Structure formats: C-alpha cells, structure tokens
C-alpha cells in the first residue's frame, strides 16, 4: 500500500506540472461559475480540503470523498457572492450510499443576478423603470464514488453547464475526477487529488447574435446576418492536498492541519494552508489562508487571503445519534466588494 501511495504522489506532481498556472491566459476561460463553491462546510477552508472532504461538500471539491458518509446526506446551500453586488447562488445536493463501498450523488447550482436594465447604443443610460432582462447560469452534476478497503476512494462527476439570456445561450459538459487516500493508526493522515472542470469548449448561439447589414450589391434593402461567437474553454484545475488529524482526549477533540496546492490552467497557481477544530464532531471551527504564487498585490485573484467558518451539528433523535442536522457558515474575504458569505443546512441519515 505504501508503494502505491508513493507512486500516487509522484503521478500527482507530474500531472500538476502539466497543468501549471499560466497567467498569460487569464481571462480566456469562461463558465466561471464552475469555480464558485456553494457549500459553506468547505468554503470556510477556501475549498482546500481536497484530502478529507466528505458527503455533499465533496461534490464540488473532490467526488472521491462523497462515499465517506453514514448512509444519506442532503444539503441546501446559499451564498451572497461579493457582498454588495446583489448576486446570489443557491444549490442543493444529495449523496446516497449503495452497499458498503459505493455512493451516488446529485448536485444542482444556479446563480441569481437579479433584474438587469436593458441598455443599447441608442440608450446607454436607461430609465430606472425601463425594461429589464435576466441572466441564467446553472450547472447540474451526477456523481459516483467507490472506496477500496476504506483506504483508497475514487470518484467522478459528470456535469452539464448552461448559460443563457432570453436570446443567446451556451451549453457544455465537464468532468471532475478525484482520489483520496487514508492511512495511519487512526486514519490520521489523508491525501487527495482532484482534477476539475475538464470538458468541451462552449460558445454562444441564438437570435441575439443576429444583426442587420446593407446588402452586398449596394441595393437599398438590408439583410439579417448571423454572427458567430468565439468559443471558450472551461476553467480546468488540479488540486493536490494533504492533512493530518491530531486527536486529543480519546478523540473528543480533533485538530486537523491541512495544506493544498492548486494548478490553474488559466491563471496563477495557488498554495494555502488551514486548520479545522472539532469537538466531538458536534461543533467545528475552521480557518484557511491562500495566496497566488509569484503574484504582485495588484495581480492577486479575488479570493486570495483569509477565510473562516463554523459548523454546529445536533442529533435528530436520541435513538439514532448518527442522524444529524448540521448548520454551516463560511466567510471569505475578497479584493473587491465586501467578501462572500456562505450558509448551508445538511441532514445526515
């Protein structure tokens, strides 16, 4: 098993070198919604818990972790993205264990941009009471994970991505895949790798791209011409993380230290670390810090810096103490606006 772990780590870093960050390509990828984390349980650690994330939270971070649940987990999440920008995203997720070693998952996330005033070249400053339009962003995923002897788990997510307004739309497919490895006397050491957002190019089509232009032969009439929009890639990335659990007082207290490296295909690579404290797994506090590698202050990404979060879990009944109701909260600082607040509710059965 140790030889397999060493080989796994070597392959991980070789893969990371292939996905090394490229700041010169920043802004070339689309479908940025795939980079947003709707789950407060992992957002409090800047999404860096690649090695030990479990349940519904794993559907976004590392699908290999969703199999490490009791039986069923259902969650609802909501986030106030960039406080002051009036943008929210909402999500729901479900993981269901099948047998002892497998699990299926389902996730859905949508973004609400609110009503946006219509502007045109003739009317760049619209009437506040004028017509509005909506932008529809959502993605839906189906996941599967399997664990081998409680040591190595693997998982994959197939995700559909849609972005549209009333007259233009784009649709694409993405694949997430991940592995988690657990070892140690009390399963203290964990290692994980997740490859995310690898998929098809997307491009916009629809009536909104049509335009009127004079006929080529010089006649007085005009023609309606269809414009082609440029295609764009998905924001693929590779996460490599490790963690160690320090168990105190016969496991009453748990302090988990973690480190994570992110190789971004369309921006600078990132590195970060964090801590999570758990009291009987009923109350948890977490904090993380992440930075962009080789970036000046004015070149850092929106989510560089600190993050924090908390979880409170209570049993649903005295007879079944493993059936839990959990409330999650997370806050991440941002370079612009006033940060992002995540809220979530989870039910474990």
Q: Is position 63 within any domain? A: yes
- Radius of gyration, CA atoms only, the chain: 22
**CB distance 176 to 192 below 8 Å:** no
Residue in the structure block whose two tokens are 């920008």: 85
Q: Is position 225 within any domain? A: no
Q: Is position 245 within any domain? A: yes
Structural domain of 125: 2-205+230-348
**CB distance 21 to 269 below 8 Å:** yes
Look at the chain and report how many structural domains it folds into: 1
Q: Is position 213 within any domain? A: no
Q: What is the CATH number of the domain that holds 237?
A: 2.40.160.60
Q: Is position 211 within any domain? A: no
What does the pLDDT look like over 311-322, one tens digit per residue? Answer: 999 998 877 778
Looking at every residue in the chain, the average pLDDT score rounds to: 87
pTM: 0.88
Q: Is position 224 within any domain? A: no
Residues near 73 by beta carbon (within 8 Å), at least 6 away in sequence: 55, 56, 93, 94, 95, 346, 347, 348, 349
- Average pLDDT of the segment spanning 156-174: 93
Q: Is position 214 within any domain? A: no
What does the pLDDT look like over 24-76, one tens digit per residue? Answer: 666 678 899 999 999 999 999 999 999 999 999 999 999 999 999 999 999 99
Q: Is 60 exceeded by the pLDDT of residue 140?
A: yes
Nearest to 37 by CA among 9, 53, 57: 57
Q: Is position 41 within any domain? A: yes
């Amino acid at each position: 098993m140790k030889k397999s772990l060493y080989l796994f780590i070597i392959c991980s870093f070789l893969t990371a070198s292939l996905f090394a960050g490229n700041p010169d390509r920043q802004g070339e990828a689309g479908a940025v919604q795939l980079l947003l984390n709707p789950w407060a349980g992992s957002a409090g650690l800047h999404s860096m818990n690649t090695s030990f994330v479990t349940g519904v939270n794993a559907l976004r971070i590392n699908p290999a972790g969703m199999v490490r649940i009791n039986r069923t987990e259902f969650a609802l999440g909501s986030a106030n993205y960039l406080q002051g920008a009036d943008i929210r995203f909402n999500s729901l997720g479900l993981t269901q264990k099948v047998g002892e070693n497998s699990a299926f998952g389902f996730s859905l996330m949508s973004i609400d941009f609110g009503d946006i005033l219509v502007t045109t070249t003739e009317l760049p400053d619209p009437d506040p009471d004028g017509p509005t339009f909506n932008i529809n962003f959502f993605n839906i995923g189906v996941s599967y994970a399997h664990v081998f002897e409680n040591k190595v788990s693997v998982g994959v997510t197939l995700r559909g991505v849609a972005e549209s307004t009333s007259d233009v739309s784009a649709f694409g497919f993405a694949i997430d895949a991940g592995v988690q490895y657990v070892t140690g006397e009390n399963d203290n050491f964990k290692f994980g790798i997740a490859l995310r957002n690898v998929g098809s190019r997307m491009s916009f089509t629809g009536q909104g791209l049509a335009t009127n232009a004079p006929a080529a032969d010089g006649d007085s009439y005009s023609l309606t011409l269809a414009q082609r929009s440029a295609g764009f890639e998905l924001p693929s990335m590779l996460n490599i993380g490790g963690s160690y659990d320090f168990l105190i007082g016969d496991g009453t207290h748990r302090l988990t230290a973690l480190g994570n490296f992110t190789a971004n295909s369309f921006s600078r690579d990132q590195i970060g670390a964090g801590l999570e404290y758990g009291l009987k797994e009923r109350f948890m506090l977490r904090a993380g810090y992440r930075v962009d590698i080789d970036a000046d202050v004015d070149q850092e990404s929106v989510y560089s810096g600190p993050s924090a979060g908390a979880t409170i879990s209570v049993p649903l009944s005295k007879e079944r103490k493993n059936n839990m109701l959990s409330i999650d909260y997370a806050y991440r600082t941002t370079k612009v606006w006033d940060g992002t607040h995540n809220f979530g509710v989870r039910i474990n059965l």
